[in-house]
Amino acid sequence: MQQKIVITGGPGTGKSTIIEELAKRNFTCMTEISREVTLNARSKGIEQLFLTNPLLFSELLLEGRKNQYLEAAKKNNDIVFFDRGIPDVHAYMNYISIDYPDTYITQSNLYRYNYIFLMPPWEEIYISDNERYENFEQALAIHNHLERTYKELNYNIIEVPKGDINERANFILNAIQL
């Protein structure tokens, strides 16, 4: 049975760097799609779709993450890593206090993952950029919403300790007993 593993956490915690490292180690990895959605909207003249129309942004993310999950299921790989999971979508909606359809929770319960690795906030590595508008305090709040959301969905959350990229990747691989 295929193991589906989520690497999640607030912005700037090293998720994408871990995913890149795991890909270098020849693991199948599904990359974060929020930047793609943001850049696509920007090409249509919408500077920050998440801020302008958070529900539309979240619907696009939910659809994209569901498609990633289904695409991963078709792959002939024992392990697939995801840069964020489906529940991240409604965790962010909770963070900004926007109502969303019940289908968000339904999708999160329908498409389940085997492991959830939570990257803790880490101010020393936090960097803002053109697609990441949150400050560090907001990143802390997002972290709390992500943790709460996954716990409400009855996931066991494994927090990844701070360390260099190899230590963090090795921690994840050891936790799944590879």
Asked if residues 90 and 108 have their Cβ atoms less than 8 Å apart, the reply is yes
CATH 3.40.50.720 fits 3-175, yes or no: no
The reported pTM is 0.89
Largest interatomic CA distance in the chain? 46
For 163, the token pair is 């360390």
The domain locations on the chain are: 3-175
Cβ(111)–Cβ(7) below 8 Å: no
pLDDT in tens, 137-174: 788 899 999 999 999 999 999 999 999 999 999 999 99
Instruction: Give residue-wise pLDDT tens across range 74-116.
Output: 988 899 999 999 999 999 999 989 899 999 999 999 999 999 9
